Amino acid sequence: MSLLTAPGQATQTLQWTKKDLLGLRTLSADEIRLILQTAESFREISLRPIKKVPTLRGKTVVNLFFEPSTRTRISFELAAKRLSADIVNIATHSSSLSKGETILDTVHNLEALKVDILVIRHAAAGVPALIASQATSAVINAGDGAHEHPTQALLDLFTIQEKKGRIDGLNVSIIGDIAHSRVARSDIWGLTKLGARVTVCGPPTLMPTQIEQLGVKVTYRVDEAIRDADVLMLLRIQHERQETRLVPSLREYRLRYGIDRDRLAAHAKPDVLIMHPGPVNRGVELDSAVADGPFSVILDQVTNGLAVRMAALYLVSGAPKVDEAEA
Ligand code: CP
């Protein structure tokens, strides 16, 4: 099945029309499929001896990260470089933001320098959308508070499609700190739009009220979440977004919700996929034997993140696709 073709639909040609990529809630299933298909066409560039094409030559990308990041920031930087864009990383603690300049003033100064794409991570939900409303540059949300992390969900979808050959009809269980997870929210939007059945599982204190309204099933029993799941997505407890302690102890959490080899052997399907957006807290939500075991695709997710971010940069840039002969 083409990624651009929903079950029962004829193949169609889509154009990207949005200035920004802010979240999956506001994307249609076809727009999500377009990004995944574009990522598929960029994936092989990273397998070449010379991992570079001129697609975004002359474009300037700025990484503006107000929160720590390993995977997302480096992945966007490599994605920009592999497309021949210029990339600037702004360390917010050593910029004039630390002298009291507002984020919007910083953005207006960057735009005065004629940048093209702003990649923004911030601890507060809505900051990328606010900037997008004020900026003429394209804005990509690299994670805003507990709101959305669209490129993480897109790389998760890409990885499931790659490993399972489909997303429609799969059972996906997301286990962990759902309440504070932007990854969970973006994954729920993306998975349900592409036809997966999503179950969320975690301690009641880490479960948002009325989450069922997003079209998911809720369980507080991890064995139930594991049973029948084609994909298990584990999430860490996001202490940085919690004002009070919401689980009695990490030991207690591990006993009730942690995934170890025995729990997997007792309840999981024989071809289950183990996914985690990272960073993994080993021995809490996931034991090393599972994180590094035969069902884990955690590092494949990281690899696929590069192709997905190349696709995101390319689509919001509005650049024409350079054909293979030129590449
Ligand atoms: N998955 C993810 O967003 O990882 P980083 O925080 O390292 O970017």
pLDDT tens digits for range 26-54: 999 999 999 999 999 999 999 999 999 99
- Considering the chain, what percentage of its residues have pLDDT values greater than 90? 85
Instruction: Tokens 């900026």: give the residue.
Output: 135
According to DSSP, the residues that pair with 117 across neighbouring strands are 61, 138
Residue 242 pLDDT: 66
**Protein residue closest via CA to atom 5 of ligand 1:** 69
Ligand 1 and 305: CB distance under 6 A:
no
User: pLDDT-derived band of residue 272, with 50, 70 and 90 as boundaries?
Assistant: very high
Q: Which of 74-83, 172-181, 190-199, 232-241 has the lowest mean pLDDT?
A: 232-241
Q: Is the CB of 277 under 6 A from ligand 1?
A: yes
Q: Which of 11, 57, 61, 54 is nearest to 34 (CA)?
A: 11
Q: Counting atoms of ligand 1 from 1, which one is nearest the CA of 72?
A: 8
The residue with tokens 């700190």 is 177
Compute the mean pLDDT over every residue in the chain, rounded to the nearest whole number.
92
* pTM, full prediction: 0.93
Give pLDDT, residue 118: 98
Does residue 288 line the site of ligand 1, with CB under 6 A? no
pLDDT of 191 above 90: yes
Task: Tell whether omega for the bond before 279 is within 30 degrees of 0, i.e. cis.
Answer: yes
Q: Is the CB of 75 under 6 A from ligand 1?
A: no
